[in-house]
Structure 1
Amino acid sequence: MPPAPHPSPRLELRLHADASAPGRARRALERLPVGRAVREDLAIIVSELVTNGVMHGAGGAITLRARLGPTVRVEVWDDGPCFEPGPAAMPVGGVEGGRGLPLVAALALRWGVDGGRDGCTVWAEVGA
């Protein structure tokens, strides 16, 4: 009889919505069995998404989930209002902010937003 398949590696982490959350989220990614280039892309993506959760959430907890399969999917949930993603274009001139989602769009194979009455999940997938 063949051995039972191993479940895909997963990560779930609950974070306080404060300035330390992006760094804690990046450090948690070290547990995933992925290569250096993928980990670096994930670190940027997760940093941006968690920072957005801190800035735009209602101040409660933020949840980071990651699942490894044919792609690595990361999801960041916060208790703030959701939004419809628009074109991901970098701001020009001296505008401060607004670069996070264009970075996510540039690094991810695909990304999106799932909303509900209890908050917002922004997800992204990168090649494993």
Structure 2
Amino acid sequence: MPEVVVVVVVVVVTAVAAAAVVVVVVVVVVVVVVVVVVVVVAVKTLVVVVVVVVVVVVVCMWGGGSLSSECLTLQNEFSIQWSLTPDVKQQQKQQQQQQQQQQQRRRQHQQQNRALTQKLA
């Protein structure tokens, strides 16, 4: 009878310990994901690009021949993404130009409205 109690206690303690380990692992993974997301959002695009390039280069150098096709795939995908990444300064210039054009249109409409109002008066 005492052996059964010992076995039950060991099983329960083991199950609780395993559940605690799972909870700790899940919490750590969630924290890491949140930190990574915050860092990626907080830093400039260029820093993220440099980090990705360094990681790809290190993985490809250390991986040797077994990862060569994966490295080529990663490099191709990265180069495509880099070529599709818009230039921030160019975007800012375009936005400024669009705002200036909208302001000019507003002024023209205001002038036309004043002219019509004066003609009608």
| TM-score normalised by structure 2 residue count | 0.26
Greater length-normalized contact order (CA 8 Å, ≥ 6 residues apart):
1
Q: Which has the higher helix share?
A: 2
Q: Which has the higher strand share?
A: 1
> In terms of Rg, which structure is larger?
2
| TM-score normalised by structure 1 residue count | 0.25
